[in-house]
Homo-oligomer: A and B are copies of this chain.
Amino acid sequence: MTAPDRHRFADADRGAVYRAIHQRRDVRHFRTDPVDDALVYRVLAAAHRAPSVGFMQPWTFTVIRSPQTRARVHGLYLRERQAAACFYDEPRRGEFLALKLEGILEAPVNICVTCDPTRGGTHVLGRNSQPETDVYSTCCAVQNLWLAARAEGLGVGWVSILKTGELREMLGIPPHVIPVAYLCLGWPEQLRTRPMLEEAGWRERLSMTGVVRLERWDGGPEAGSAAAAAVAAAEAEIAGFEAAPEPR
């Protein structure tokens, strides 16, 4: 009889995976140093290894290096940012406008990740009940890319303040293809210990006990229960991987 946990990684390797997850950051401040194609394609190879419903692999990765295109996308961003600012009152508006929310021009590489819902033909296994799982698969690819980039020492920033229709037109994306993520990729000026929005006092990290439920969406763990203690212990435990020194 083989042990159930025989596929478990060795402790050091397990730690490396948790550290990539833990130290991944949404980066907005980039150095302008170039990023080799080999490195770009390596993180895309990681993205291409994402799970996908019915193995449809609906993603396409458009790699943009052209300064002209990036300048045009940056123009879209500026307008959206101005529009978004209208929804805040002072002092929140000032705080919002002070945040750096993209690195479109500084990061040498931009990547538009799209989802083609027709990739798998007319009927895709597992998409009968939940058609949007094609987009979900594409998001898993983004997260793979992000973690691979972290391991490579690269920074990634997801720019969500862009209108998909405008991106579609600018990049020649057909009407049926969905722009899911617009990413900036480059060498980070720094990798923060905490998310920028937390550091800036914009919003706090939620306690894990608040996002874990037992048996039902409206179930425990009740504060002070053994389950709540176990949840808190797990959070502290993987935080330990973060504290590990840089291994170089």
| A interface residue count range (under 10 / 10 to 19 / 20 to 34 / 35 or more) | 35 or more
Q: Which residues of A126-151 are within 8 A (CB) of B? A: 126-130, 132-133, 135-136, 139-140, 142-144, 146-148, 150-151
A46 to B4, CA, bound (A): 21
Flag if B61 contacts A216 (CB, 8 Å). Answer: no
Map CB proximity to B onto A80-117 as digits: 1 under 8 Å, 0 otherwise: 10011001100000001001010000000000101000
Closest to A206 in B: B57
Residue ranges of A at the interface with B (Cβ–Cβ < 8 Å) = 4-10, 12-22, 24, 26, 31, 33, 37-38, 41-42, 44-46, 48-51, 53-57, 59-66, 69, 80, 83-84, 87-88, 96, 99, 101, 112, 114, 120, 123, 125-130, 132-133, 135-136, 139-140, 142-144, 146-148, 150-153, 158, 160-164, 171-174, 177, 180-181, 187-188, 191, 195, 197-198, 202-203, 205-206, 208, 211-219, 227, 230-231, 233-235, 237-239, 246-248
Contact of A5 among B12, B49, B153 (CB under 8 A): B153
In addition to A7-B246, A9-B152, A136-B180, 6 A-B residue pairs with Cβ atoms within 8 Å of each other are: A8-B153, A8-B248, A9-B20, A49-B238, A140-B146, A172-B219
CB distance from A114 to the nearest CB of B (A): 7
The verdict on A18 contacting B62 (CB below 8 Å), with A84-B128, A125-B197 known, is: no
**Given contacts A87-B123, A234-B41, are A147 and B146 in contact (CB under 8 A)?**
no
